Chain A
């Protein structure tokens, strides 16, 4: 069965410093992995996705993630945090067939300090 573990429930960074949000996955198959962001009172917005192409995936708003099979990790990074990055971030694994339903992590709340 597929699962994801987000290792930090809360992360605080100063504006202009790097962001690292950690995600480990478990999958019996070659997984499809995603990062979504959720701002307050907003829906989920896709940041980036990995679907067995390049292991370094670039997304929107300067975010990127690296798929590391040996470490079963898919950490999200950004070189320089902006105040507008403050939100809830979800790591997601998709079942490889059938419904392709999403299995979400428990989320990481990113706080950006001025």
Chain B
């Protein structure tokens, strides 16, 4: 079983609303990344945090933001939701930043109506 847990598993929001998705990483994993997986596509990199600082960002607008906490938990916040934000959001963690392999959570399925 994965050591990364995400909550909630499913979520329905209305266009224009704000949402917070949560992730609990494996203990000791200092790096957490978030990915968006639209239906039928591969995951796309949103951003990455290392020791509570953002250290990389993909091609996503500023209304996508995040936080990482000292207890290895993290959040993805999305403001002003759009219909195209409907996707599976995946959290992934690793010990460091050397790309040696991430552990993924099962994801949060967000539907924007």
Contacts and interface: CB of A to CB of B under 8 A. Distances in A.
B101 A34 contact: yes
B4 A101 contact: no
A99 B56 contact: yes
Contacts, number: 64
Contact of A43 (B4, B33, B48): B4
Q: Is the interface of B mostly helix, strand, loop or mixed?
A: loop
B7 interface: no
B107 A106 contact: no
A101 B45 contact: yes
A105 B99 CA distance: 17
Interface of B: 2, 4, 33, 35, 40-45, 48, 55-56, 58, 90, 92, 97-107
Interface of A: 32, 34, 36, 41-46, 49, 51, 90, 94-96, 98-107
